[in-house]
Chains A and B, each alone.
Chain A
């Protein structure tokens, strides 16, 4: 009976690679973003984060 809800994918070649791709992709991306974020300089960050506060509608 369980064959109706389990093992749909069994006959696709290499299906087990999908979750692995997912994990690798996300971890890589997350690591890259972290590296980048922590390499940003304070002055740069202050400059960008003050953009909304410029202008004459404050």
Chain B
């Protein structure tokens, strides 16, 4: 048997590049987060001094989420994979060119996001806001990453695929599937497209995507990194490799079904809701199995946690993972969800995951990799400690006030007086009640941000005092090309040895969940009870709706009234699936920083909306909503209206043939009606302004069935 060792080198420079952008975009993303948090906590200040459309809350809140998820955590994911994968396989990455396309392509996508989102160019689907051509770029770059990873696996010198690599494979396969399915959209122009799906379907696909983006972008790759870096930092193998196998298969099978728990008590079909709940509850088992596996790896070595910044960060990260994966199933129980949904509890929950699990895993990993690659020690243990404590306190000060705010607001929403009226009929009262909590949250965010800045400084100084090793030599025996299966060898060896089989099996496992969950909703197109009085939007309303999407109104306002007495009392008739069949994309929202808008149509006069958009405080003193003067000043761009109508028709919205001939005339007529209404209330405005279209849309919302006698 020839055992001649082959010499090769690991490419550290690609890891270095990804590390630099991870740190940079991490700080930027957190800073944007601080700004949006401050906009809620100090609304008057922003309205008085910093009122510009480009940093309006609804536009930069998606910038924050995209930046921290895809730029910060995404680049860290690539850094971690490009560092660990070659070392686990004893071979360099397959192609330096592909590694670099992956790097520059991803950064280009981030720049596109940074430019388009503040400009209001958005698809209006949470965590998938980027427009169609950026979606295509994402798919291409992701495939480049996947091909590079697979070719590396094929060229490996280590026969076994360590469990971390399974997690990487599942990440690649599932994110590709989710992204492609969720991004079906019909372009109207370079900067505008409509989701192919409408209403209930769109919601289901979106949250199937949204939840699994959490699962397969923020969780599985980091579990892979956990299985690599914790054993390395503790210098001992993982607690139970058997458990890690069960962890892997159970997790990827269960996660994919859990999406509908984001839509409990909505117009989503009951069976899908129940399925989502059942699988969410079951998820606690593999999640905690994984958490315990990570923590127990340190059994008998806990003293090392005291001295190792890497372990400190990772222990808190894994603990936060345990907390949020306990909280997740809890929140998906219908009774708990009834309280938490639409409140700040959810925001607190995701930040335990984001700041604790992802953020601390990333920094733990950086504290490990950078001293290795620069052949030195951490510049200052003291600063690392400072970073650790600021971060930990930051997480606590971030989450606790939001838990408080969530409960406080829910109990105010649902409180009735002895006479049977809402105790707080004015939604605003429930908001002003919790602004103190919003301010505390800013404090928490600031602590975390300052901690991260200290960390980045420390890592920078670490690199500066060392010498960068662009390539790291290693040697290993090649794999024999023909491998004869040993007699009696277990069948799973077949999968484990062959990465392509692994990919196929993982894809099948996640696709089953996806298909069984989503397919029925596609079959029901004709079964969503259509309501005769629900008609397509008029062209003016459609344009108004696009303004609503552009300004990210969905980041604070839901359009989904749940069938609870306190909601129907406050907002009106609860929302029906059949009301959304023309909504491309759906705008149900997931957070009520402001009131639900589904039945806002005809509730107030046109002039109320006009004044409210000009300055919300004029109509609702104390409101924290930003003013939208540009909607009043800017003319409506009608150049795409005809294309929009025909795009909608392509997607099945029943605009009659030849409608284009009198679209503009109809728009003018409807606009004139609103202008006249406004004039009666002494508001003079040109009929071509954006505000007219927006008012048309808002006044239409939820009115189709308002005067309907719905039969039981």
A-contacting residues, B141-186, CB 8 Å: 158, 160, 162-164
| Residue numbers in A under 8 Å from B246 (CB-CB) | 33-34, 37
| Residue numbers in B under 8 Å from A11 (CB-CB) | 527
| Residue numbers in A under 8 Å from B274 (CB-CB) | 19
| Residue numbers in B under 8 Å from A47 (CB-CB) | 160
Whether the pair B235, A58 counts as a contact (CB closer than 8 A) is yes
| B237 within 8 Å of A (CB atoms) | yes
Whether the pair A29, B253 counts as a contact (CB closer than 8 A) is yes
| Residue numbers in A under 8 Å from B474 (CB-CB) | 55-56
Report, as a range, how many residues of chain B touch the other chain.
Answer: 35 or more
Q: Say whether, besides A15-B520, A34-B246, A39-B490, A49 and B576 are in contact (CB < 8 Å).
A: no
| B269 within 8 Å of A (CB atoms) | yes
Could you tell me the distance between the alpha carbons of A18 and B372 in the complex, rounded to whole angstroms? 51
| B5 within 8 Å of A (CB atoms) | no
| B666 within 8 Å of A (CB atoms) | no
| Residue numbers in A under 8 Å from B249 (CB-CB) | 29-30, 33
Q: Say whether, besides A18-B516, A55-B474, A4 and B492 are in contact (CB < 8 Å).
A: no
| Residue numbers in A under 8 Å from B484 (CB-CB) | none
| Residue numbers in A under 8 Å from B257 (CB-CB) | 22
Q: 17 A-B Cβ contacts within 8 A?
A: A5-B576, A8-B269, A9-B524, A11-B527, A19-B274, A22-B275, A30-B249, A34-B246, A37-B245, A40-B242, A48-B163, A49-B238, A52-B84, A52-B88, A56-B474, A57-B472, A58-B235
Whether the pair B237, A50 counts as a contact (CB closer than 8 A) is yes
Whether the pair B270, A12 counts as a contact (CB closer than 8 A) is no
Could you tell me the distance between the alpha carbons of A57 and B370 in the complex, rounded to whole angstroms? 11
Whether the pair A12, B523 counts as a contact (CB closer than 8 A) is yes
Nearest B residue (CB) for A22: B516
Could you tell me the distance between the alpha carbons of A48 and B245 in the complex, rounded to whole angstroms? 12
| Residue numbers in B under 8 Å from A29 (CB-CB) | 249, 253, 509
A-contacting residues, B228-249, CB 8 Å: 228, 231-232, 235-238, 241-242, 245-246, 249
Nearest B residue (CB) for A15: B520
Candidates B158, B492, B576; contact of A51 at CB < 8 Å: B158
Whether the pair A58, B267 counts as a contact (CB closer than 8 A) is no
Q: Say whether, besides A3-B529, A36-B492, A53 and B87 are in contact (CB < 8 Å).
A: no
Whether the pair B160, A48 counts as a contact (CB closer than 8 A) is yes
Nearest B residue (CB) for A3: B529
Whether the pair B492, A1 counts as a contact (CB closer than 8 A) is no
Candidates B269, B372, B490, B577; contact of A57 at CB < 8 Å: B372
Which of A12, A38, A52 has the most CB atoms of chain B within a 10 A radius of its CB?
Answer: A52
Whether the pair B524, A12 counts as a contact (CB closer than 8 A) is yes
Q: Mark A14-48, 1 if CB is under 8 A from B, else 0.
A: 01001101100110011001101111100001111
Whether the pair A4, B516 counts as a contact (CB closer than 8 A) is no
Whether the pair B490, A8 counts as a contact (CB closer than 8 A) is no
Q: Mark B502-538, 1 if CB is under 8 A from A, else 0.
A: 0000000100100010001001100111000000000
Whether the pair A19, B271 counts as a contact (CB closer than 8 A) is yes
How far does the Cβ of B560 sit from chain A's closest Cβ, in whole Å?
12
Candidates A19, A30, A34, A57; contact of B275 at CB < 8 Å: A19
| B1 within 8 Å of A (CB atoms) | no
| Residue numbers in B under 8 Å from A53 (CB-CB) | 231-232, 235-237
Candidates B267, B516, B520, B712; contact of A5 at CB < 8 Å: B267
Report, as a range, how many residues of chain A touch the other chain.
Answer: 35 or more
Could you tell me the distance between the alpha carbons of A9 and B204 in the complex, rounded to whole angstroms? 15
Could you tell me the distance between the alpha carbons of A57 and B162 in the complex, rounded to whole angstroms? 17
How far does the Cβ of B277 sit from chain A's closest Cβ, in whole Å?
12
Could you tell me the distance between the alpha carbons of A10 and B490 in the complex, rounded to whole angstroms? 45
Q: Which residues of B contact A (CB under 8 A)?
A: 84, 87-88, 90, 158, 160, 162-164, 227-228, 231-232, 235-238, 241-242, 245-246, 249-250, 253-254, 257, 267, 269-271, 274-275, 372, 472, 474, 490-492, 509, 512, 516, 520, 523-524, 527-529, 563, 576-578, 710, 712
Whether the pair A9, B238 counts as a contact (CB closer than 8 A) is no
How far does the Cβ of B531 sit from chain A's closest Cβ, in whole Å?
8
Whether the pair A30, B250 counts as a contact (CB closer than 8 A) is yes
| Residue numbers in A under 8 Å from B269 (CB-CB) | 5, 8-9
| Residue numbers in A under 8 Å from B490 (CB-CB) | 36, 39-40
Candidates A9, A26, A37, A52; contact of B228 at CB < 8 Å: A52
Could you tell me the distance between the alpha carbons of A57 and B471 in the complex, rounded to whole angstroms? 12
Nearest A residue (CB) for B705: A4
| Residue numbers in B under 8 Å from A38 (CB-CB) | 242
Could you tell me the distance between the alpha carbons of A34 and B289 in the complex, rounded to whole angstroms? 14
User: 4 extra interchain contacts, Cβ-Cβ under 8 A, other than A8-B270, A22-B275, A51-B88?
Assistant: A1-B712, A4-B710, A5-B576, A52-B227
| Residue numbers in B under 8 Å from A45 (CB-CB) | 241-242
| Residue numbers in B under 8 Å from A3 (CB-CB) | 529, 712
| Residue numbers in B under 8 Å from A40 (CB-CB) | 242, 490
| Residue numbers in B under 8 Å from A1 (CB-CB) | 710, 712
How far does the Cβ of B702 sit from chain A's closest Cβ, in whole Å?
14
| Residue numbers in B under 8 Å from A5 (CB-CB) | 267, 269-270, 563, 576-577
Candidates A4, A21, A48, A52; contact of B232 at CB < 8 Å: A52
| Residue numbers in A under 8 Å from B472 (CB-CB) | 56-57
Could you tell me the distance between the alpha carbons of A4 and B268 in the complex, rounded to whole angstroms? 10
Nearest B residue (CB) for A48: B160
How far does the Cβ of A49 sit from chain B's closest Cβ, in whole Å?
4
Could you tell me the distance between the alpha carbons of A4 and B270 in the complex, rounded to whole angstroms? 11
Could you tell me the distance between the alpha carbons of A15 and B236 in the complex, rounded to whole angstroms? 50
Whether the pair B528, A8 counts as a contact (CB closer than 8 A) is yes
Nearest A residue (CB) for B286: A30
Q: Say whether, besides A4-B576, A37-B242, A9 and B529 are in contact (CB < 8 Å).
A: no
How far does the Cβ of B233 sit from chain A's closest Cβ, in whole Å?
10
Which of B254, B257, B527, B528 has the most CB atoms of chain A within a 10 A radius of its CB?
Answer: B527
Whether the pair A26, B254 counts as a contact (CB closer than 8 A) is yes
| Residue numbers in A under 8 Å from B372 (CB-CB) | 57
How far does the Cβ of A15 sit from chain B's closest Cβ, in whole Å?
7
Whether the pair A49, B237 counts as a contact (CB closer than 8 A) is yes
Q: Say whether, besides A9-B271, A12-B527, A52-B231, A33 and B164 are in contact (CB < 8 Å).
A: no
| Residue numbers in B under 8 Å from A34 (CB-CB) | 246
